[in-house]
Structure 1
């Protein structure tokens, strides 16, 4: 995409990423990108698997996918709704060990309210519980799996995030940790930044990959948001 040239010096903020492109808004994934809920998720899903007689090896396959999509691949059709309800019950009850990831609060806080959103595969109650448990300062726009008929890797969640902010998806940046989420962002027409952690750098098909949100900075320019990568 063609973007306006940067209008401010970046000398103190590191190298501009994505060829210095300027964006109207940033759409963040939540789990694995802003917060780490992995221990609680693993406990909850392993307990569900034990109760439903499912091989626990499945847990390495579903990060970034809506729970419904993963469960539909693991149990008979008649057991999907019961499984969804049980997994949600377990996850809502387990908020131990959920932490904010490095750099997440600072990066989110550096973006104006009207230009930021969370787009998550969590159900609304679960997103609310996890954000509250970490005291993460959530933006006004939070899109959950309850808000769109189709979840990641379909583009609809990110299209909805851009729509709620009032921006063209082609002028939005998606920040994600999971291949399914990055695929959703690309399909929505957004630029993408992958964050390593839940997946190796080699597994992240993104326009740019960082090892931590702490490596990113935002400059607000008259034309929009310019991201910088802090390099050693």
Structure 2
């Protein structure tokens, strides 16, 4: 069995795409169409889109005559219309339902409207604390989103456990001073990481003692 963190935590923070739900097919369809219109090498470009705000992905391309804000908005609209195969990561629904509502948050690089549509499509609950692209001054891999999530939970960052799947998000959680669990269900290639790695949530349980959370294996 995968060794899990042995310490207790004040709060759990979850990335969304690739961590509690899978929207890869939907996102890549929209981005493939966009990249094709821009004349990009689609196969080389697609791996760069995950875990980062759309506007930042477009901005760093430095494409002449392209307005990153307008293009990101159009991509969001396209992705919101394409959610038929957005599904929860294995066991995510039951795992989130077992957490005290005021002790977990979602920290995502997606815009709020898109995040809400995807959570609904995956049958997952909206969190009490929800940090989206509009809330964080800097996108992942900067720690801003995770730090804000911890602040809104009322928990010190070092007392939080972050669940992530992408390198940018992992780096953001590390920079925030948080322990990290890497969720690998959507990974196409093995990831080299020093953090605890789990496939999904089906074999995970949480112990709540009224003050703190502990991650454990399901009996």
TM-score by length of 2: 0.92
Q: Deviations over 1:86-140 (max 9, x none)?
A: 2112111111211111110111111101100011110111101111222211221
2:178 equivalent to 1:190: yes
Residue 121 (str. 1) matches residue 109 (str. 2): yes
Q: Structure 2 unaligned runs (5+)? A: none
Of stretches 87-96 and 222-231 in structure 1, the one that deviates more from structure 2 is: 222-231
Is 1:54 the counterpart of 2:48? The answer is: no
SS of the equivalent of 1:142 reads strand
* SS of residue in 2 equivalent to 1:214: coil
Distance 1:43 1:172, change over 3 A: same
Q: What's the TM-score, normalizing by structure 1? A: 0.87
Task: Indicate which of 121, 128, 139 corresponds to 1:133.
Answer: 121
The equivalences for 1:35-54 within 5 A come to 35-54=21-40
Give yes or no for contact 2:116–2:126 (8 Å, CA) kept in 1.
no
Alpha-carbon distance in 2 for matches of 1:202, 1:15: 16
- Structure with more of its chain in helix, by fraction: 1
Structure 1 consecutive aligned stretches of length 4 or more whose deviation exceeds 6 Å: none
Q: How many residues align?
A: 217
Give the C-alpha shift of residue 201 in structure 1: 7.5
Find the structure with the greater CA-based Rg.
1
Consecutive unaligned residues of structure 1, counting only runs of 5 or more, are: 1-13
The match for 2:93 is: 105
- Residues 94, 87 of structure 1: CA spacing in aligned structure 2 closer, same or farther, 3 A cutoff? same
